[in-house]
Chain A
Amino acid sequence: EAQVTQNPRYLITVTGKKLTVTCSQNMNHEYMSWYRQDPGLGLRQIYYSMNVEVTDKGDVPEGYKVSRKEKRNFPLILESPSPNQTSLYFCASSFSSGAGIETQYFGPGTRLLVL
């Protein structure tokens, strides 16, 4: 089954304790992205990757890092989490068929609470 998976789905942590949220897709997509969703703000892009070893900042990259060492994986790293990073996080993937941009597929979301 084609899917985007995220782990963990729920996480409670404390300020300053490094954490990683994993994202994996089995569709051989080149493009992957991270979004955060906050009440009243919709979803905002954090980082994206056009392919292996190619990453760039989105609209709200502060406090986050990413890496893309393999095509299927795109982990989101919070080196020193703070309470303002409490949010719902989504990973998404897509490819371009040549006829245009294809639809982005979203993971199930990771709910993070930073105390």
Chain B
Amino acid sequence: AQTVTQSQPEMSVQEAETVTLSCTYDTSENNYYLFWYKQPPSRQMILVIRQEAYKQQNATENRFSVNFQKAAKSFSLKISDSQLGDTAMYFCAFMKGGSNYKLTFGKGTLLTVNP
């Protein structure tokens, strides 16, 4: 079974600065996908970024980028130029390829952006 670990329950950052959220996972699979979801106070689950394991290039989406280290089974999220609206719970998630599409989530990191 796959496991996802987010070792930072809470983090804070000053507005306009950069912050990195950590995520490690454990799997014996070679074909899989990794995701970061954001959950603001509204509780809506919003996709931030996704990464296919077969791609060596790190995914980027505007101010959000990942550092995907397949051998180390690490998938960290970097948020540049942090904004107040980035304040949210962030979940790292794993999905096995060609499977039942189940997402296995970490326990989350609560990020607070301070003005």
Contacts and interface: CB of A to CB of B under 8 A. Distances in A.
Interface string A99-115: 01101101011010000
Contacts of B106: 42
A75 B44 CA distance: 19
Q: Which of B37, B43, B47, B107 has the most CB of A within 10 A?
A: B43
A25 B105 CA distance: 22
Contacts of B105: 42-44
A106 B43 CA distance: 11
Interface in A59-73: 59
B102 A90 contact: no
A12 interface: no
A90 B45 contact: yes
A64 to B, nearest CB: 15
Give the interface size bracket for B toward A. 20 to 34
Chief secondary structure at chain A's binding surface: strand
Contacts of A104: 47, 101, 103
Interface residues of A, number: 27
A101 B34 CA distance: 11
Contact of A101 (B33, B42, B91): B33
B95 interface: yes
Interface of B: 4, 33, 35, 37, 42-47, 50, 52, 91, 93, 95, 97, 100-103, 105-108
